[in-house]
Chain A
Amino acid sequence: EAGVTQFPSHSVIEKGQTVTLRCDPISGHDNLYWYRRVMGKEIKFLLHFVKESKQDESGMPNNRFLAERTGGTYSTLKVQPAELEDSGVYFCASSQDNRVTGELFFGEGSRLTVL
């Protein structure tokens, strides 16, 4: 069974450009999450999808970030226009259920470098 896959693994862009990150969750997982880790800091929650619906987007930094999950399968996270402080590793995770014991299955992350 394939795990959570993310693309690209690393993206280097200029300030002001646009980047789109993609996440393919584990098949059958309704819950999909985006997290971000800025260098040396904690991993912070960005948002949560249940199927195609945004359940919680309280962690989205600002309106330069747009996440979608059309059809409830893969998700995209677009940053437009990118700023220097957006640099970090963006993790996608999925889970099958909403039990408190439910572990998250993470992808390998997409490293974004904004110059």
Chain B
Amino acid sequence: AQKITQTQPGMFVQEKEAVTLDCTYDTSDQSYGLFWYKQPSSGEMIFLIYQGSYDEQNATEGRYSLNFQKARKSANLVISASQLGDSAMYFCAMRRSGTYKYIFGTGTRLKVLA
């Protein structure tokens, strides 16, 4: 069965510091995609970053990077130089190749402190 696990219900980080949000996944598929979404208080889910299972390099998008460790089935999100606007709920998700269904974790609420 496909599953995404986010073990950190809440995290605090000091402004300008880096923070890692954990995500592990369970799948027997060889081809899949991993995503991170941000949900600010407004409610909208915002796409942050994508990692393909065959990508050899870790994905990066500005201050976001994905620490992909395939053997450990982990896809942690690293946010560098945290900003107050980073305070939000963060969801890790997986999509199997050939399907349209995304599987989400329970989310991690990040609070950036001034």
Q: Which residues of A contact B (CB under 8 A)?
A: 3, 9, 31, 33, 35, 40-45, 48, 55-56, 58-59, 89, 91, 93, 98, 100-101, 103-109
> Do the beta carbons of A100 and B103 come within 8 Å of each other?
no
Chain B, residue nearest A111 (CB): B43
User: Do the beta carbons of B100 and A56 come within 8 Å of each other?
Assistant: yes
Q: Are A108 and B44 in contact (CB under 8 A)?
A: yes
- Determine chain B's interface SS by DSSP, over half rule: strand
Report how many residues on chain B are interfacial, defined by Cβ distance under 8 Å.
29
User: For residue B55, which residue of chain A has the nearest CB?
Assistant: A101
Does B101 lie within 8 Å of A45, measured CB to CB?
yes
Taking CB atoms and an 8 Å cut-off, the chain B residues in 80-104 that contact chain A are 91, 93, 95-104
- CB pair B43–A33 under 8 Å, yes or no, is no
Whose C-beta in chain A lies nearest to the C-beta of B103?
A: A45
Report the nearest B residue to A9, measured CB to CB.
B43
In the assembled complex, how far is the CB of residue A59 from the closest CB belonging to chain B, in whole angstroms?
A: 8
Please tell me if the beta carbons of A103 and B107 are within 8 angstroms of each other in the complex: no
- B77 on interface, CB distance cutoff 8 Å: no
Q: Which residue of the partner chain, among A3, A43, A55, contacts B104 with CB atoms under 8 Å?
A: A43
Q: A41-B106, A100-B31, A100-B95 are in contact. Are A48 and B43 (CB under 8 A)?
A: no
CB contact list, B43-67 vs A, under 8 A: 43-47, 50, 52
* Interchain CB contact under 8 A, A106 and B33: no
In the complex, B35 has a CB within 8 A of chain A: yes
* Cβ contact within 8 Å between B43 and A44: no
